[in-house]
Amino acid sequence: MAKSSLPQTLPVLKRLKPYAIPSLIQPADFIQNEPSNMTAPLKECNQPNVEFQTDSEYFSDVENVPSQTIIDMKRELDQVKEDNRKLIEVNTNLRDKLHSYFNENKRLKAEIDNLQKHISKKDAGIDEAALVTAMKERLKPTLSENQIDIILKKKKRVVWTKEEIGSALTLKYFGLRCYKYLAKDRKFPLPADATLKRYTKNLVVKEGILDDVLKLISNLTSTFTEKDRLCALSFDEMKVNRIIELDKASDEIIGPHNYLQVVMARGLCNKWKQPVYIGFDKKMTKEILLKIIEKLSEIKY
């Protein structure tokens, strides 16, 4: 069989222009059939409506834009670039601050953990009895021992001492409304009114130096200045009825007497006075005056 003759060189292909689109296409059977079927009808193809713009046309459109518009657009572009630069700068600063705050937060958390561990160690080593003793020592100038026990809930009921009752009477002397406010509203540990009335009812007022009275006024005068504590003693005799009476508090019979010797302490720079001594049918002596002065000096008069 003889070899088919093939062309020695390939045909030169031409590249169509973009707008060179054929208007007719051949049917599929044209390719499959023999070359003799050249008389088959051709099918018409609708040409798509495509418009192409050349470079010359594009540049002509740009040239038609007003120069002021181009200047405005360039100015707007520059402004956008400047705003973008500022935003980038602000963003960078915020990132730096965020990083520093993150490190600071991390450091503070570590410090809190160390403090909590330190507190846990301290709590484990605290002796409750030693703590109560230290609190009583620190609060002693302000509160009495019974008051501290009530605050710490060590005791529910206490027996008030004479000094505590004297302080309560002094506070009540300064203002009844203040006393009720502290006792009821602020829950300050103070003796009840019934306790104060019972104490004053059983107050020992016997012949001689009035020790219970001196204890009461010592709480009052503790609020005075050194100048206000300066006082002088005055004494006088008072006529009394010659009768016999029964002292229910001490269960004693008193009387009959002719006169009563009374010694009064009076403030020199402040208006106050208080009886400090009484004696029935007794003359004033040097020994009595010295004893009264000694008692007054003990309470810093």
**Strand, coil or helix: what is 235?**
strand
The pLDDT score that the predictor gives to residue 66 is 73
Measure the CA–CA gap between 209 and 292, rounded to whole angstroms.
Answer: 7
State the amino acid at position 70 in one-letter form.
I
Domain-wise residue ranges, the chain = 69-125, 140-201, 208-299
Give the long-range contacts of residues 97-101, CB within 8 A, separation 24 or more.
none
Rounded to the nearest 10 degrees, the angle between the axes of helix 286-298 and helix 211-221 is 40
Q: Which two tokens stand for residue 117?
A: 């561990």
Measure the CA–CA gap between 153 and 140, rounded to whole angstroms.
Answer: 17
Report the first-to-last Cα separation within the chain, whole angstroms: 156
- How confident is the chain (301 residues) per 10-residue block, as mean pLDDT? 50 62 51 48 51 50 68 89 92 93 94 90 73 82 86 87 83 85 90 87 80 79 82 90 81 85 90 88 91 88 78
Rounded to the nearest 10 degrees, the angle between the axes of helix 162-174 and helix 193-201 is 110
pTM for this entry: 0.45
The pLDDT score that the predictor gives to residue 34 is 47
